[in-house]
Structure formats: C-alpha cells, structure tokens
Structure 1
Amino acid sequence: MLAFCCLVFLVLVMDKNAWGGEVQTETKYNLVDLIVAAEEHNPLLRAAQEQANQARALELQSASQLAPKLDSSLSYLHEYGGGLRETKFRDTYKAALTLTHTLYSGDGLEASLRAATLNRQAVEADLLRTRQMVRNDVRKSYYDLQRARAQLRVAQESYDLALEHLKQAESLYKQGIVALNEVLRTKVDVSTAELNLIQAQNGTRVALSALEKAVGITLSFLQVPEITPEEEACPPLPQIDPYAMALQYRPELVSLDDSRKAAEELAKAAAGQARPNVYLQGEVFYYEDEFFPNEDDWNVSIIASWRLYDRGEVKNKIEENRAMARELLAMIDDLRNQIRLEVSTAWQNMESALQRVRVADDQVRTAEEDYRMALKRYVEQVGTNIDVLDSRTALTDANTSFVNAIYDAYSAYSDLIYAIGVMEEDFTTGDLGNGNENSKEGTE
C-alpha cells in the first residue's frame, strides 16, 4: 500500500500538465512574424543567399590574382647513365620557395576583378528581389487564408439562417398554413448551404497549406489569429507615382545593369590577353646530393610574354562579351516595359477593389434589410418562400462580394509593393530614402 501511494505521488509530481499544471500554448504568428519566419526558413531565399555567397567567393578569387603567390616544392631526381648531359650529382635533392607576382597584365586581371565585383552586386540585387518575392508570397498567402476564413464565416451564417428558416417553415406546415413543398424546398436550400459550408472549410485548409509553403514551417489555425470583421479595414491608395518609383527601386534593373557592366569589363579582360604580360619571379632553393640539402642558392627573374597569333581567339572573345552587354541593354528596355505593366495592373486592381468595397458595403446593408423584410412577410404570410430564399441568396452573395473586394484590395496592395520593388515597412512609413540606392545608378 505504501509503495502504491509513493507511485501515485510521483505521477502527480512529474505530470503537471495532465493534472492542471502549466499548459504549453502554441506560438502566435501575425503577418510580421510570418515574414520573419519565412526569411529564416524559406528554401528559395536560402538558395539565393548561397548564390550570393558564391559570387562573393568568386570576387575574392579574382582579387587574389593580383596578389603575390608563394609556392614551396621538394623534389628528388635520379640520373640513369651518363648520356649527353653531364650532371653535378647522380642523386639530387632540391627544396625551393618560389615567389611569383604579376607586374602588368594589360589590365586583364584588374578588369576581371571589376567584372566579378559587378557580378556580385548583380547577384545581391537578385537576392533582394527574391526576398521581396518571398515576402509578397507570404503576404498574399496570409490574406488568402483570411479571405477563406471570412468566406467560411459567411457560409456558416448562411447555413444558420437556412436552418432558422427551415424551423419556421416546418412550424407553419404543422399549423397547416403552408404546403409541404415549401418545407422540401427549404430543406434543399439547407443542403446547398451545408455543401457551401463544407467547401469553405476545405478552402481554409488549402489556404493554410499554401501559407505553410510560403513561410517554410508547419502551422496550425490556432497559430495564425483570424482577422475579425471589425479589423477588416482596406489599405489606402497611396499618393505616389508608382512607375517612377519602380524605375528607381526595382532590384532587377540594378542586376541587369551590373551584369551589362560586368560583360563590358570581361571584354576589357579579354583584350588584356592580347597585350604584353610581365611577371616577377624569385626563387630561393637548396640543391645537393643528400637530404636535407644545406647549400642555398637564389635567383630573380622578370618574365615578359606577348601572344603574337591566336587565330582570332581574343578578338572573338571580346565580341562575345560586347554582344552580351548589348543583349542585356535590350533586356533592360524590355524590363522597363514589363515594370510599367506590372505597376499599372497592381494599381488598377487596387483601385477597382476599393471601389468594389464601397459598392459591396452598400449592397450588404440593402441585402440584410431585404432579407429581414422578406422573412417577416413570410412569417405573416404576405410573402412567399421563394422571396425568402432569393433574398438570403442575395445576402450571401453580397457578403461574399464584400469579403472578396476587401482581400482583393489587400492582395493588390501587396502586388503594388512588390511591383515597385520596396520593402513593406519602407512603403507604409514613406521612408524610401534607403530603399535601394544602387537602383538610381542602375537606371541612369
């Protein structure tokens, strides 16, 4: 008995959660928290970051070509037979340190370094754009989840109203006031509302899965709080010139312009191969017939090389990189047209959504009053069952249109931020001075 009591005491002490102790709550994520989590866990963003790391490593490799190089070597040589060449030793050991430094490369190495720096800047601009893309995906997925929840709320309200009307129809039928067909028609309408409710529930699960993919972590409905109807306020239409701002801040313009400049620098690097190259080489070595040698010697050499004929290799390499630069210049012009289309589409979508919100809001109020009057007239038997069903369908459609208009405005607002190429916090506060300083240079 004593052993049993001790066992019960240990269970009570160790399992606090099971007996009313501390209950762990799930972490809550608002939109800002989800964006922060995506910047840490999204695979696309991690891959883009590694591409930037590769570009930095390539830049450092190019810079190292301008620095002196120190090599060490240890060799052993054994001569078989006298032959035509006399050697000092039959067995020879050599230990050497060799210093090599490029004095003049015809601007080839310097141009390669400048090209690597520009390529690194282009990749970093692509990284910024990827970050903006991930943020936009998270925002739109978050708004789609809230849209699905609002549509579920509308479907639930429509289902509840259908059940309430069914009770009234059954009550009137039992009193002998209405015919059976009105009850059956109302039951069909209840079934339709239930199907819509099931579809809306599935829509919320699909929207949550899309948000999980955008963020890169597993989420639950409890971790993403629902926006209440009182909090559904549309974002304002900003008073800006969106296209001019996009030309200033879009990272792709910076990336393409840096890539174009890098191609021009690679053409200069190729041209450097046709110029003389001068190297300084110094060597200190130990050369003897026993290991480890102890007699040292040294020499210093200046080596100049100049390629006289290569059958047009350098010339064609220069033309290749210049053609690449011209191609990127044409792509920049096309990108400007694409940016104009993206900005215009997002702006018009947001403008249209805001107008639809105002119209849908009036439509909801009118539909609510129409349904109230139709239901009252039906109860007093001065209206028909069809009037009630039609007015409730109109009310459901009006609520759905209102929800879609609100979240269409949110999605268009997110697309507008993405089309301009700035971060949301800079866009909302108006602090765009530090958005992307290189973009100004890239569009000049």
Structure 2
Amino acid sequence: MIKHAHWKKRLAVALTGGLLMLNTVVALAAPVELTLEDSIAMALNSNPAIKMTDADRKSAELQINVAKGGHLPALTVAHSDNFFHSGADADTDYATTVSLGVNLYTGGKTESDISSAKIKLKVADSAVEQSKQKIKLDATNDYFTILQTKNSLKVSQEAVDQMEVHLKNVQAQYAVGTVAKSDVLRSEVELANNQQALIKAKNAYDLAVSNLNNVIGLPLDTDVIVKDELKHEKYASTLADSIQYALTHRPEALQADYSIDVAKEAVKSSKAGKLPTVSATAKTGWKDKDFPGADNNTWSIGLAATWTPFDSGVTNAKIKQSDSAVVKAIEQARQTKDTVQLDVRQAYLNMSEAEKRIDTTQVAVEKAEEDFKIAQVRYSAGVGTNTDVIDAQVALTTAKNNYIQAMYDFNTNKASLIKAMGVPVVEVKK
C-alpha cells in the first residue's frame, strides 16, 4: 500500500514537471512582434560585423598613443651579471644602469605620425558607420521581403478561395447539365495550379522570416509577426541634392579624402629623413664585483644630434614613393566618388520607376477586380465562358502581385538610396 502511494506521488511529480516543461516550450515559442525600427535596432546590437569594426576603431584610437610616444620620455633599466675567467683567475661583475631619454626634435616625423594616426581614427569611425549602414539596409530589405511575401501569400490564398468557389459553381451547373465536363476539369486544373502557387508563396514567406532572424540575431525558426505594412511615403529631395549629400556624408567618400591626407603625412614623414634628430639623455649606474652592484655609482646627462647628409639616395627614393602614393590616393578618391554618384543615381532612378508603377498597378487591380466580378456574373447567367472567369482570375492575381512588387521595389530602392547617400544611422536602444 505504501509502495502504491509512493508510485502515485512520483507519477504526479512527473506529470507536473512535464506540464511545466510544456508551458516553457510554449512560452519560448511565442511569436515575436517586430516593427522595422525594432528589427534595425536588434541587427545593430547583435551583428558581428559591427563589433569587428568597433575593435578596429579601438585599435586605431590606441595607435594615437603609440605615435605620441615619440615625444614622451622613456625610462630604461638594464642589469647584467658577468663571469670572467682567464687562466687561473676568475672574477664576477654586476652592473645596473638606469637611463631616461626623450626626443627633442625628429625632423617632423613624430608630428606626422601623430597626425596620420588621428586621420586613421577618422577612417575607422567612418568604417564603423559604414558597417552600421550596411546592416541597417540588410535588416530593412529583409523586413520588407517579409511584408512582400506576406501580401503575396494572402493573394495566393485569395486565388485558391476564389477558384474553389468557382469550381463549386461549375460543378453545380454541370450536375444540372448546363455546362460541359471540360469546364469542371479545366477549373480543377486551375485550382491545383493556384494551390501550387500557394505552397510556393508560403515557402517564400518562411524563408524571408528565417533571413530576417539571421540578421537580427534570433533563432532561425522564431515565428515573427511584422507590425508594419508596405507604405508609399514620397521621397522629397531631388537627385542633385541626393548626390551632393552623398559626396559629403557617404563613408566611402570620406575615407577616400582621409586616404589622401594620410598619404600627404607620409610624404612629410619621408622628408624628415633629410633633417637631423636631437635627443636628450640622463643616465646613472652602479657597478661592483658583489651582487647587486650598488657601489661605484656613475651618472651623466647629455644631448645627442644625428644627421645623415648622404644615404645613397634612399631618402629621396622614399620621398618619391610617398609622392606617388598621394597621386594614387587622389585618383582612387575620384574613382570612389564617381562610384558613389552612380550608386545614388541608380537607386534614385529605380525608386522613381517603382513609384510610377505603384499608381498604374493600383488602377490595374481595380479594373481586374471589376472584370473578375463581371466574368463570374456572366458565367452564372450562361452568357460567359469558363475560360473568361479563369482568365479574369489570373489577371486579378497578376495585377495584385504587380502592385505588391511595385510597393516592395519602391521601399527597398528608397532604403538603398538612403544607404548610398550615407545618411547616418540613428540607433534606438531596445
């Protein structure tokens, strides 16, 4: 009896634990509702590419301290233990030296190194921004792809529903002998085709959700509910204004100009090889035959100047190399800015083209809906054909998908334009 009660208690505990685990799984599987801003914020906070560029920026920031070290004093401590043996004689020698040195003049090399390091930090800053803009565009495109496939899925479901209703009407008329068997068969084939399209639409939607999850850092199988809709919000700026903005804000354009500045600083650094260097040193030391060598203290203070008036043309060659690097940087900057202008122009024109399609496809949807209704009525009245209804239904589905595609193209090309212009990313902390 006791064993029976104990068995019941263990069963109750197991069932309770199972229910708790089930509830946990259900809670974990709850859909995640996201706006476009939510998706962008999550992508910015989780994407590895941004973290890598942040690490590069930190390295560039520390390089400024490295360059500044050329102007700062350096303290060096040296100790040596020596054992001497000559014939039957052996001896030991312990020595400690402490020296303090500072470069007083380096011909401008240290100043150039510091300036170059500061410019490279600006390059790193723009690289971080560039990475953020790329991630924002990826998240935006994936979010709009979900909206597109979601609407296309709805259209495919409507097509299946419409053809099912039509098939029932055809079967009813065939049952009373008013239409031929071919009408039933053709309608069944069209329904099967629409069902195939629905399956593909569902798969495209699932893939779109997985792609967004991958960008924003969620498990790939997370069920996402997008809260926004495809909208048509006009873009106000002209093409000329957009290009001008890009040339002064796009990270790639800024980096190209910074590269010219870095190359010019390298020329200054190379020219420093023609100038003398001056340094100051202060030394003190101890040397003795007993460890740690604390007796026999000596000290000295001095200035040292070094100049190499002739180095077989090595410095001149380095200067010419640096000059060539400046020319290359200038040409690369021009090429980069041409590419920036082309990117802006392409995105702007693609956006404008899609915007024009929005109005025409919207009218086409209205006309197709009216045509489909008329075809249904005519067929029911016996004055229209089954082919008229099927063709009208196909035309309606095509018109709706064309409208969805136009809205998607407008929004994604607008996002590409914003990226091509280099509009800064405003982060929203979640």
Give the aligned partner of residue 234 of structure 2: 236
1:408 positional shift: 0.8
AA paired with 1:302?
L
AA paired with 2:209?
L
1:98 positional shift: 1.3
1:11 positional shift: 4.8
CA distance in structure 1 between the partners assigned to 2:360 and 2:31 by the alignment? 39
SS at match of 1:79: strand
Q: Number of residue pairs matched?
A: 418
CA distance in structure 1 between the partners assigned to 2:426 and 2:51 by the alignment? 22
1:150-203 C-alpha deviation (Å, 9 max, x unpaired): 111111111111222111111111111111111111111112111211221221
* Alignment of structure 1 residues 248-267 onto 2, 5 Å: 248-267=248-267
1:171 aligns with 2:176: no
TM-score under structure 1 normalisation? 0.88
AA paired with 2:237?
Q
* Contact 1:62/1:109 (8 A) holds in 2: yes
Give the aligned partner of residue 141 of structure 1: 142
* Contact 2:35/2:227 (8 A) holds in 1: no
CA distance in structure 1 between the partners assigned to 2:13 and 2:200 by the alignment? 48
Give the aligned partner of residue 410 of structure 1: 411
AA paired with 1:292?
P
1:40 aligns with 2:45: yes
Give the aligned partner of residue 397 of structure 1: 398
AA paired with 2:368?
A
Give the aligned partner of residue 369 of structure 2: 368
AA paired with 1:54?
S
Give the direction of change, closer, same or farther, for the CA distance of 1:30–1:169 in structure 2 (3 Å limit): same
1:305 positional shift: 1.1
Structure 2 unmatched ranges of 5 or more: none
* Contact 1:55/1:116 (8 A) holds in 2: yes
1:232 positional shift: 3.1
Structure 1 unmatched ranges of 5 or more: 83-88, 427-444
CA distance in structure 2 between the partners assigned to 1:10 and 1:17 by the alignment? 11
1:100 aligns with 2:101: yes
Give the aligned partner of residue 6 of structure 2: 3
Q: CA RMSD in A?
A: 2.3
1:8-66 C-alpha deviation (Å, 9 max, x unpaired): 55456656646879945354332222212211222222222222222223222112222
Give the aligned partner of residue 289 of structure 1: 289
SS at match of 1:282: strand
**Aligned match of 2:69 in 64, 84, 91?**
64
* Contact 2:73/2:103 (8 A) holds in 1: yes
AA paired with 1:39?
L
* Contact 1:41/1:217 (8 A) holds in 2: no
CA distance in structure 1 between the partners assigned to 2:109 and 2:300 by the alignment? 27
SS at match of 2:316: helix
CA distance in structure 1 between the partners assigned to 2:118 and 2:180 by the alignment? 83
Q: Which moved more, 1:147-156 or 1:381-390?
A: 147-156
* Contact 1:343/1:420 (8 A) holds in 2: yes
* Alignment of structure 1 residues 203-282 onto 2, 5 Å: 203-220=204-221, 222-225=223-226, 227=228, 231-240=229-238, 241-282=241-282
* Contact 2:211/2:220 (8 A) holds in 1: no
* Contact 2:57/2:121 (8 A) holds in 1: yes
AA paired with 1:250?
R
AA paired with 1:46?
K
* Alignment of structure 1 residues 295-444 onto 2, 5 Å: 295=295, 296-423=297-424
CA distance in structure 2 between the partners assigned to 1:4 and 1:90 by the alignment? 88
1:364-403 C-alpha deviation (Å, 9 max, x unpaired): 1111111011011111111000100110010000000010
* Contact 1:237/1:351 (8 A) holds in 2: no
Give the direction of change, closer, same or farther, for the CA distance of 1:425–1:392 in structure 2 (3 Å limit): farther
* Contact 1:235/1:413 (8 A) holds in 2: no
1:49-95 C-alpha deviation (Å, 9 max, x unpaired): 2222222232221122221111111101233339xxxxxx9421011
1:282 positional shift: 1.3
1:305-340 C-alpha deviation (Å, 9 max, x unpaired): 112322222212222222222212122222222222
